[in-house]
Amino acid sequence: MEFLAISTDSRFVHKIWQEEELSKMVPGGVPFPMLSDPGGKIGSVYGVYDEAAGVDLRGRFIIDPDFVIRAMEVLTPEVGRNPEELLRQIKAFQHVRATGEVTPSGWQPGKPTLKPRPGLVGKVWTVWKPESSTGPEL
């Protein structure tokens, strides 16, 4: 698993942000590289570059080892992101890839999964109960 942060900020801004802000919120600062995307070339590829403002929107992408985007979320700066949900989704995608099972809404490691098979069609309710997850999907 590899994490990268990319923004249109310069590496100098990233350094100051890490030293003056992130290191005070996360002991030792964030433990992954922060890359600079001047001009928004990478952000444009992923559809998050706001050319008028000259910045990348806050987006996160889960990309599997075959370079397939498995999940993405784009938020404006006013709404914070949920790192616990990101990690839950990464664990779920890793489980799916390793086992071929599928994970229901809110799945956590160790919780029930579904094994896809033709006989399951129309009978998922007999195998998976919403109370076996962390709650109903909204």
For 66, the domain range is 5-81
| pLDDT tens figures, 50-93 | 999 999 998 899 999 999 999 999 988 788 888 888 889 999 99
Q: What is the CATH number of the domain that holds 61?
A: 3.40.30.10
CA distance linking residue 57 with residue 103, whole number of Å: 29
In a domain, residue 126? The reply is: yes
Within this chain, do residues 68 and 10 fall inside the same structural domain, yes or no? yes
For 81, the enclosing helix (H) or strand (E) is none
pLDDT score recorded for residue 122: 83
The count of structural domains within the chain is 2
Whether 129 contacts 106, CB under 8 Å: no
